[in-house]
């Protein structure tokens, strides 16, 4: 994973009003923490931060004055409508240090004919070196037949990575495609069952020639 370098500024004003002003200036409020140090409140250049944080688990080199910090983006809060980052939480790391991260699963290849491929886990949690976080984990489904299941423990991991997710967790499930004829037959059977279902009529009145119980 490549490192992205960002030049930060120390932040002394806090609160929603201060954060809005920072964003109006095309900057991003952020905080760095970790290794027992007090949180460091900073601002990042907006456009550069947006580009650097396009991918999950972005590793950043933060320059603050005369100091440089290696930091991992742990929480990126984005505006739900505008292409704007509202806040970033950064964890300070060191080269050689191991961290636990969620890495996206990427499928490649085409499964066998008339199959449906379902991804049950879109990410896998791995323990990896902070400076060697993979952008994705590639899982091949090439030629796999219906009934095939790929569990987390069977996924080939990048060198040096350790699986944290349960090894028995289902990652990919390959099932047989349902033909249109079978789908139509199931639908017709369901509709037929509804039409022939006898309605419950608990409040039905007794027949005219039946006398109520207890009467002669």
Interval 20-67: pLDDT, tens: 888 888 899 999 998 777 889 999 998 999 999 988 888 999 999 888
With respect to residue 113, please indicate whether it lies within any of the assigned structural domains.
yes
| One domain for residues 76 and 118 | no
CATH number, residue 169: 2.170.120.20
Query: Residue 153's closest CA among 170, 171, 167, 169?
Result: 167
| One domain for residues 76 and 105 | no
CATH number, residue 74: 2.40.240.10
| One domain for residues 84 and 31 | yes
| One domain for residues 48 and 87 | yes
| One domain for residues 78 and 104 | no
| One domain for residues 171 and 153 | yes
| One domain for residues 42 and 11 | yes
Domain holding 158, by residue range, is 100-176
Of 49, 64, 93, which residue sits at a domain end? Answer: 93
With respect to residue 207, please indicate whether it lies within any of the assigned structural domains.
no
| One domain for residues 150 and 170 | yes
| One domain for residues 109 and 145 | yes
CA distance 152 to 169: 5
CA distance 65 to 120: 45
With respect to residue 25, please indicate whether it lies within any of the assigned structural domains.
yes
**102 Cβ neighbours under 8 A, 6+ residues apart:** 56, 57, 123, 124, 125
With respect to residue 185, please indicate whether it lies within any of the assigned structural domains.
no
Query: Among 82-86, 111-115, 138-142, whose mean pLDDT is lowest?
Result: 82-86
User: How does residue 216 score in pLDDT terms, banded at 50, 70 and 90?
Assistant: very low
Please check whether residue 41 is in contact with residue 14, taking contact to mean a CB–CB distance below 8 angstroms. yes
Split into its structural domains, the chain has a count of 2
User: How does residue 140 score in pLDDT terms, banded at 50, 70 and 90?
Assistant: very high
| One domain for residues 125 and 67 | no
Interval 62-106: pLDDT, tens: 999 888 999 998 889 888 888 888 899 999 998 889 999 999 999
With respect to residue 190, please indicate whether it lies within any of the assigned structural domains.
no
| One domain for residues 11 and 77 | yes
The two tokens of residue 95 are 């080269």
pLDDT value of residue 182: 67
| One domain for residues 54 and 121 | no
């Amino acid at each position: 994973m490549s490192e992205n370098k960002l030049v930060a500024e120390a932040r002394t004003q806090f609160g929603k009003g201060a954060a809005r002003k920072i964003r109006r200036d095309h900057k991003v409020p952020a905080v760095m923490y970790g290794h027992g140090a007090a949180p460091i409140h900073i601002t990042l250049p907006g456009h550069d931060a947006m580009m650097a944080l396009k991918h999950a688990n972005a590793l950043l080199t933060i320059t603050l004055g005369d100091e440089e910090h290696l930091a991992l983006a742990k929480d990126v809060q984005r505006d739900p409508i505008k292409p704007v980052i509202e806040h970033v939480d950064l964890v300070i790391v060191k080269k050689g240090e191991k961290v636990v991260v969620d890495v996206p699963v990427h499928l490649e290849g085409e499964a066998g004919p008339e199959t449906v491929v379902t991804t049950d886990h879109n990410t896998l949690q791995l323990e990896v070196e902070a400076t060697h976080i993979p952008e994705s984990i590639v899982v091949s489904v090439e030629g796999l037949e219906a009934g095939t299941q790929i569990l987390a423990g069977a996924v080939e991991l990048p060198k040096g990575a350790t699986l944290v997710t349960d090894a028995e967790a289902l990652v990919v499930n390959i099932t047989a495609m349902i033909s249109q004829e079978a789908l139509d037959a199931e639908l017709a059977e369901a509709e037929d069952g509804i039409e022939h279902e006898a309605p419950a009529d608990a409040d039905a009145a007794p027949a005219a020639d039946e006398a109520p119980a207890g009467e002669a």
